[in-house]
Copies of this chain bind each other. A is one copy, B any other.
Amino acid sequence: MKKVGVAILGLGVVGGGTYQILTEHREFYQRTQNVDIVVESVLELNRERTRALGVPSDKIASNIAEIVSDPDVSIVVEVIGGVEAAREYVLAALNAGKTVVTSNKELFCKYSHELERAAKRQNAGLYFEASCVGGVPIIRTLLDGVQANKISSMMGIINGTTNYILTKMTNEGTSYEESLREAQQLGYAEADPTADVEGFDAAYKLSILASLAFHTKVPFTKVFREGISGVSKEDIADAKELGYILKLLAIGKQSDAGIEVRVHPTFVRKDHPLASVNDSFNAVFLTGDSVGDVMLYGRGAGALPTGSAIVSDIIYAATHSENKYSTFKNTANADKDTNFISDFKSAYYMRLTVEDKAGFLAKIATVFGKHNISLVELLQKPGKAEDGKVPLVLVTHETHEMSIRKAVAKINSMEGVAHVDTVLRVVS
């Protein structure tokens, strides 16, 4: 039986989960995968962690050089996180001809071309299933499951922290701040939650997934990004009233016109399969030209779910000598020629505060008409009109982002008529 030596860089949450899965399942993989996967080495300075996991002391390396020069190690798992050290270690491993398995979305998103070149040069494998959507095998599916399709659209709930917060706001009517605080207490959100709540994490993942789905490199910098920190109780309540659920969606679309990639809070119609993806669960909803709609659902984070993705990559690497970096086969072309669409089309939800005076509706309607915006729904809410102001809620048909921005600017300039409080995008 083929024996494959693994080194794990970092025994934090995901590294610990990976270590645990590999050691507990060794016999299981021998039996079912016909391969003997052995953890030969770990790089972890924190002795509490190595002790808690029961790592034998002769398997604890002192530095990366020891690992990359170890002939018994053929697969290096990078789960230290961060960018600089991870990049250095991964390059060192690839340059030494080791196959690398990483969960590092930021690293992969920012440096995939460099890592790819190093991997190809040495004919080393480079795998990153765990970088996106935890245990859900979305990357394997894009590469080997729906690769017969031209993918026109991908919509995902790919950040567990924000989904937890929005689910709580929806189910319990709590504010953003309260919900974030609870997510932090439960360990679902970090002390500095910026990367999650402002959509950076989702944007990194979308960059990777869209690159695979659309067969061209989609740089992180092209992703339109809006977080959930501005979402109010009123937005959540309006969504419900109009038959939607508010979710942070990562959306990628490809057509003859080009590619659009965006992360933003979105009204999702409540009977859409994504609408019932709750708490810290994630899902990706794909549309292919042959397969139609496909959705993958599961846990987007956590020691064991993410460890599952890493170990699946390890097994794949250990049992395939081809297609080690099939990603690049698909993303090498067209980088420079791709048209990225910033003036994308969407339907919109808008909440305005209007002066309750005769003719205000005609004035607003004129602005919309001028920008070719037509309405699906208009809801004048019974507001506290003491100061002569009332809330107005509307949903538009599909229109251009730029038309909406211009219309909003125009309405906000019409003092004494109306003010736009919120604009959110809508998927029906």
Residues of A within 8 A of B (CB): 17, 21, 25, 28-29, 31-34, 135-137, 140-141, 144-150, 215, 271, 273, 276, 288-299, 302, 304-305, 307-309, 311-312, 314-316, 319-323, 326, 329-330, 333
Q: Is B307's CB under 8 angstroms from A32's CB?
A: no
Q: Are B316 and A144 closer than 8 Å at their CB atoms?
A: yes
Query: Would A312 and B135 be within 8 Å (CB), given that A297-B295, A298-B291 are in contact?
Result: no
Contact across chains for A305 and B290 when beta carbons are under 8 A apart: yes
Contact status B293-A299, CB under 8 Å = yes
Q: State A290–B19 Cα separation when bound (angstroms).
A: 12
The CA-CA distance from A33 to B147 in the complex, in Å, is 8
Copies in the complex: 2
Is A135's CB under 8 angstroms from B308's CB? Answer: no
Q: Verify A312–B146 contact, CB threshold 8 A.
A: yes
* Complex interface: chain B residues within 8 A of A150 (CB): 25, 28
Q: Is the Cβ of A31 less than 8 Å from the Cβ of B333? A: yes
Interface pairs (7), CB distance under 8 Å: A29-B148, A137-B144, A144-B144, A288-B308, A290-B308, A295-B296, A320-B322
A291-B304 contact in complex given A148-B21, A329-B34, C-beta closer than 8 Å: yes
Could you say which residues of chain B place their CB within 8 Å of the CB of A321?
322
Q: Are A292 and B135 in contact (CB under 8 A)?
A: yes
Q: How far is the CA of A309 from the CA of B28 in the complex (A)?
A: 29
- Write the nearest CB–CB distance from A44 to chain B, whole angstroms: 20
Q: A146-B312, A308-B148 are in contact. Are A136 and B290 (CB under 8 A)?
A: no
- Residue of B at shortest CB range from A281? B293
Whether A144 and B148, one on each chain, are in contact in the complex, defined by CB atoms closer than 8 angstroms, is: no
Give A307 to B33 CA distance when docked, in angstroms: 29
- CA A319 to CA B326, docked complex, whole Å: 10
Minimum CB distance partner of A149 in chain B: B308
Whole-angstrom distance between the Cβ of A380 and the nearest chain B Cβ: 33
**A305 proximity list for chain B (CB < 8 A):** 290-292
**Which residue of B273, B290, B299, B315 contacts A148 across the interface (Cβ within 8 Å)?**
B315
